Structures are given as structure tokens and as C-alpha cells.
């Protein structure tokens, strides 16, 4: 007969192994296939190259990783359109918890943040789709972010010092 500790350890090991094997066999999810997403991102006006892969690990979770290079001649409003369309396309892919996807524009690099975009792009697809829907974007039509508020002045200490 096994001791309670050994039985618990064996049960825990079996449970962890089952979860690990089960996670590997889960379907990729609803939405547009990754290779189609990469192809559609590459077709966005101003995008010169794309590397895109889906990763899933214990430290960062499920995410898209890679690099999107935008033509350095694009203006800031044109780059904002690229970012908007990339975000819209990826929203229609696999569900993610994070992103390590970098946008390169000239000498600037920025990580694209992936969060809940349902307010902007509607609900995620609930079944597989052959391609992503891409909304046309006119440079300058994107909302301009609010400027950061001016920092409040630091309080001044007044009065005579205590003795």
C-alpha cells in the first residue's frame, strides 16, 4: 500500500501530464488561419515585410510574435492606419493573452499591444473563417490620442523650520 504522500504525488503527476498533453491537442481556435493573417498583413499598404508566428508557453501565455516592417517613408498618420489594420486582422485570429509583435518604422520600434478590441472591431469570430475583414483606413481619420495631462506642481513647504 502506498503512503498518502506517494499517492498524492502520483495523482498530481498524472494530472499535470494529462493537462500538458491535453493542452497540446487543443484545436487552434476559431478565426482566420495564421498564414492567412500574415499574408493579409503583408498586403496592407505601406507594409514591406512580415514575420508572424503564434506562440504559447507557460511564461507569457498565448501570443503572436514576430516583426512587421513599415515603409520608412510613411507619415505618422499612415503608420497609425497600419497599426489599426494590423490590430483588426489579428483580432480575427486566435485568442491571445499577450503580444511580442514588433512594428518597425525607420529607426523606431514599438511592441503592438493586444487587448480586448471588441469595442473597436466587434466580437471575435466564433468559428473558422477563410480571411479577415479589413476596414479601409484613411490617414488622419484615426482618433488622435488625448495629450497627457500636465503634471501637478509639487506642493511647496512654507513656514518657519521647527527647532
pLDDT tens profile 34-57: 999 999 999 999 999 999 999 988
Question: What pLDDT shows up at residue 113?
Answer: 81
Structural domain for 49, as ranges: 31-116
By DSSP bridging, strand 47-57 and strand 98-105 are: unpaired
Residue 49, domain member (yes or no) = yes
More confidently predicted of 19 and 105: 105
Summary mean pLDDT of the chain: 79
Strands (E), 15-81: 47-57, 61-70
Overall domain count for the chain: 1
Flag the least confident range among 17-21, 65-69, 84-88: 17-21
User: Is the CA virtual torsion 128, 123, 70, 43 positive or negative?
Assistant: positive
pLDDT band at 17 (very low <50, low <70, confident <90, very high): very low
Residue 3, domain member (yes or no) = no
Residue 133, domain member (yes or no) = no
Q: Is the pLDDT of residue 114 over 60?
A: yes
Residue 22, domain member (yes or no) = no
Distance (Å, whole) CA 147 – CA 9: 55
Residue 13, domain member (yes or no) = no
Residue 76, domain member (yes or no) = yes
More confidently predicted of 121 and 3: 121
In whole angstroms, how far apart are CA 60 and each of 13, 30, 37, 54? 23, 21, 21, 12
Question: What pLDDT shows up at residue 25?
Answer: 34
Residue 68, domain member (yes or no) = yes
Any idea what the CATH number is for the domain that residue 38 is in? Answer: 3.30.70.1350
What is the chain's percent helix, strand, coil content, to nearest 5? 30, 20, 50
Amino acid at each position: 500500500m502506498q503512503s498518502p504522500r506517494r499517492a498524492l504525488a502520483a495523482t498530481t503527476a498524472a494530472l499535470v501530464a494529462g493537462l500538458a498533453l491535453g493542452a497540446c491537442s487543443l484545436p487552434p481556435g476559431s478565426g482566420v488561419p495564421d498564414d492567412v493573417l500574415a499574408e493579409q498583413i503583408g498586403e496592407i499598404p505601406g507594409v514591406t515585410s512580415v514575420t508572424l508566428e503564434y506562440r504559447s508557453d507557460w511564461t507569457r501565455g498565448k501570443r503572436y510574435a514576430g516583426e512587421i516592417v513599415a515603409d520608412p517613408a510613411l507619415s505618422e498618420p499612415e503608420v497609425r492606419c497600419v497599426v489599426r489594420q494590423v490590430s483588426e486582422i489579428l483580432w480575427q485570429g486566435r485568442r491571445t493573452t499577450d503580444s511580442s509583435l514588433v512594428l518597425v518604422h525607420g529607426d523606431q520600434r514599438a511592441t503592438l499591444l493586444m487587448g480586448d478590441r471588441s469595442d473597436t472591431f466587434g466580437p471575435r469570430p466564433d468559428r473558422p473563417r477563410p480571411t479577415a475583414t479589413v476596414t479601409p483606413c484613411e490617414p488622419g481619420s484615426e482618433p488622435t490620442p488625448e495629450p497627457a495631462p500636465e503634471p501637478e506642481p509639487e506642493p511647496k513647504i512654507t513656514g518657519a523650520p521647527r527647532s
